[in-house]
Amino acid sequence: MAQPIIEIKNLIKKFGDRTVLDGVHAVIPEGKITVIMGGSGCGKSTLLRHLIGLHRPTSGEVWVDGKNIAGLDEPGMNDVRKKFGMLFQGSALFNSMTVGENVAVPLKEHTDLSPEIIRIIVRVKLELVGLTGFENFMPHEISGGMKKRVALARAIALDPKIVFYDEPGAGLDPITASMIDRLILDLSKKLSITSVVVTHEMKSAFRIADQIIILQKGKVLQVGTAEDIQNSTNAYVQQFIQGEPEGAIPFKQTSEAYLKGLLDT
């Protein structure tokens, strides 16, 4: 296995009384694609937000590229942030800027390159995601799949070591979603970028993952390759893969409490 680039140690996050992450341990190897999977509300998005420093843990450590980001202040965190890119679920493009300007934002802010060089880099990045010639379009003039690709071009503008993807296939048709998967694979292989993908789409996960981490109720349930997960004997994992409404997790989760509540009032 490759060197770990991210290590999560006993990460706990509480929002008020609600514990969302309950002692997560995980290791993400360098240069590989790691998929974090789990049902809605299992804490996978919260975990991702910890990795990019948008949330601070209640306790525990998050080591990214040799630094414990749980203890970093804002300037220190920003130094780490320059090493990674992030693809948001809704693309999060700046609507008042053109596609080209969007991709240029990190370059303008973090480098002293001349506008001509920036223009060339923007073109190269857009070519990487297959959108040559779209520089002057506004985000509302292009489709959802194209927006995702522009957002990806922006995420890799500064040649990051790690790229995080939040539900890259969400809201896209199967063909576009598989194109995005192809891009993730390409970037990972060609540029040896470490990818961390949060998703609940099984097909996509099995297609791209070198390692899969399954979360349930804020804890790591299983870690393994796509094959390990498919052959898992864990009832919940099987239910999740098959997409069955009944199984380890019952369809009606609170029937007893519900009856009690009805009778009490």
- The single residue among 17, 73, 109, 256 that binds other proteins, judged by CB under 8 A, is 109
Residue 78 C-beta: closest distance to other proteins, Å: 4
Coil, helix or strand at residue 91: coil
Going by C-alpha positions, the residue among 75, 108, 83, 90 that lies closest to residue 166 is 90
Contacting other proteins within 36-55 (CB under 8 A): 52-54
Nearer to other proteins, 198 or 202 (CB): 198
DSSP letter at 134 equals -
Query: Is residue 88 part of the contact set for other proteins (CB under 8 A)?
Result: yes
Nearer to other proteins, 187 or 229 (CB): 187
First CA to last CA distance, the chain:
58
- The single residue among 19, 58, 89, 234 that binds other proteins, judged by CB under 8 A, is 89
For tokens 């240029």, name the residue. Answer: 104
Q: Which stretch binds other proteins (CB under 8 A): 58-66, 73-81, 215-223, 243-251?
A: 73-81
Query: Is residue 95 part of the contact set for other proteins (CB under 8 A)?
Result: yes
Structure tokens at 256: 């007893």
- The single residue among 10, 78, 136, 192 that binds other proteins, judged by CB under 8 A, is 78
Contact 154, 105 (CB under 8 A): yes
Query: Is residue 117 part of the contact set for other proteins (CB under 8 A)?
Result: no
Query: Is residue 136 part of the contact set for other proteins (CB under 8 A)?
Result: no
Residue 241 host element (H or E): helix 235-242
Query: Is residue 127 part of the contact set for other proteins (CB under 8 A)?
Result: no
Report d(CA 108, CA 154) in Å as an integer: 12
Query: Is residue 138 part of the contact set for other proteins (CB under 8 A)?
Result: no
Query: Is residue 118 part of the contact set for other proteins (CB under 8 A)?
Result: no
Contact 164, 87 (CB under 8 A): yes
Contacting other proteins within 202-221 (CB under 8 A): none
Report d(CA 98, CA 96) in Å as an integer: 7
Contact 88, 152 (CB under 8 A): no
Contacting positions for other proteins (CB under 8 A): 52-54, 74, 77-79, 81-82, 84-86, 88-90, 92-96, 105-106, 109-110, 154
